[in-house]
Each structure stands twice: as C-alpha cells, then as structure tokens.
Amino acid sequence: MIKGKTALVTGSTSGIGLGVARCLAAQGANVILNGFGEHEQARAEIAALGVKAGYHGADMSVPTQIEAMMAYAVSDFGGVDILVNNAGIQHVAPVEDFPVEKWDAIIAINLSSAFHTTRLAVPAMRKQNWGRIINIASAHGLVASAQKSAYVAAKHGIVGFTKSIALETATTGITVNAICPGWVLTPLVQKQIDARAAKEGISVQQANIGLLAEKQPSLQFTTPQQLGELAVFLCSSAADNVRGQAWAVDGGWTAQ
C-alpha cells in the first residue's frame, strides 16, 4: 500500500516529523523532507532505507515557498500521495504579553501551512482516487493549557480543518486524519523543560518529571517512532474508512 508512494513530511529535519518520515520510508515510501537546520544526514539516512529521498527548504510561513515545494514534489517525485502536515513551533506567554509576531508565525506555520499544502495536493489525489493527509495536531488540539493561546488556537484549528477536509473527500479514496500527541521528547519540548528547570531552580531531570506529572498520567513520553507507526497504519487499507479523526497518543492526558 505504501511502497512506491511519495510522502511529503513538513518539518521533518528533527523530532516527530523525522520519526514519521523514517517509518514511512521503512515501509517503502519515497520521502520528501522539509524543515530548517541540518538535513543532509536525515536525507542520507532515509535514502539508506532503499527509497528515494528529497529535501525542500520551504519556509512553511510563506505561501509562495509552499507552492514552490509542491511544484518540486511534482517535478521530482510525480506528486504527493501521502501528505503529513507536521511543521510547528511553540511560544509560551500570557496573552497580554504575547508577541504579535509570534502569534502570526504560530498561526501561519502550525495551521495555515496545512491549508496551503492540502489545497495544492488534493486535486491530484482526487484524480488517482487515493491519498492520505495526516495532520500532526496535539493534545492541545483537544484541550487547552494556559499561556499557549496561539498554539492551542492553531491546534484546535487544525483538528477542525481535518474534519472539514475529511467530509469534502468522504466518498473518495482520500482520507484525512489528525494525530494528537501528548508530550514527546523533541527539541520543541526540550526548550520548555530547560525553561522550567531555569525558572524553578531545579535539575533538568526534575523538570522532566514535573512536566510529565502535570499532564501525562503514564509519566512516559510518547516517541516519534510510535507516532510514525500510527501514521503507517493510517496509510494502510485497514484505515480506508478512518476519516476526520483526532487520534490522541497522549498517555491519558485528555482522558482526565
């Protein structure tokens, strides 16, 4: 089912995106990576799995760059069969102090970029009557935390967007779903742990435990690999009729 298909994973130079890209490549999907920072090692690692691996450095906050990335996918890979909207950033501050440019960037990267990739990917998916769109939302797509207004708004937004596009494509071979992770130990969360350790004058290890204990009853981080395996399942024929779901992998966070 996945073998020979092309997956585009936004924000896949680290963390969850890279984990999802690895799992899809392990099943034989060609992969287009995207994101900032070092990417040659990630690309080589994906290629070593025996698939075609590409990279495009589009900034997900800039619609014209997203258009260029989607054009690259068509010219170099023949299009996108599996679209994983994963790129995301975080900023933590009370609303009255929230920097306006941070609000705009979070909405652009965490939410609007998925609109642009999706609008550009869907026509070819409709033509071939097959496609998978997987949006990496968050537990914060289902419930809120204080001081994360932009992030929570964007993640609730992408869960709603997921449902809407799932309905638009419901009679086709395209499925659209969201994955809602709780805490995953990636650079995005490491920053929050480090900030917590500094603010409370505690060790990074204590900050780790405190962060988990506050929200995630399992007291364990979810891994990028576990999320990648869920993405593989959503790409399988067993998931042909899973549509518009927001699938939590959050150690019990949203069960409370």
- DSSP assignments along 180-245, one per residue: EE--B-SHHHHHHHHHHHHHHT--HHHHHHHHHHHH-TT-SPBPHHHHHHHHHHHHSGGGTT--S-
User: Between residues 174 and 178, which has the closer beta carbon with respect to ligand NAD?
Assistant: 178
- Cα four-point dihedral sign 15, 20, 26, 31: negative
State the nearest-atom distance from the C-beta of 129 to ligand NAD, in Å. Answer: 29
User: Between residues 110 and 118, which has the closer beta carbon with respect to ligand NAD?
Assistant: 110
Helix (H, G, I), strand (E, B) or coil at 157: helix
State the nearest-atom distance from the C-beta of 75 to ligand NAD, in Å. Answer: 20
Tell me what percent of the chain is helix, strand and coil, each rounded to the nearest 5: 50, 15, 35
State the nearest-atom distance from the C-beta of 87 to ligand NAD, in Å. Answer: 4
Interface residue list for ligand NAD (CB under 6 A): 11-17, 34-37, 59-61, 86-89, 109-110, 136, 138, 181, 183-184, 186-189
Catalytic residue among 55, 151, 183, 221: 151
User: Between residues 35 and 131, which has the closer beta carbon with respect to ligand NAD?
Assistant: 35
72 flagged as catalytic: no
Rounded to the nearest angstrom, the gap between the alpha carbon of residue 35 and the centroid of all alpha carbons in its chain is: 12
Active site residues: 151
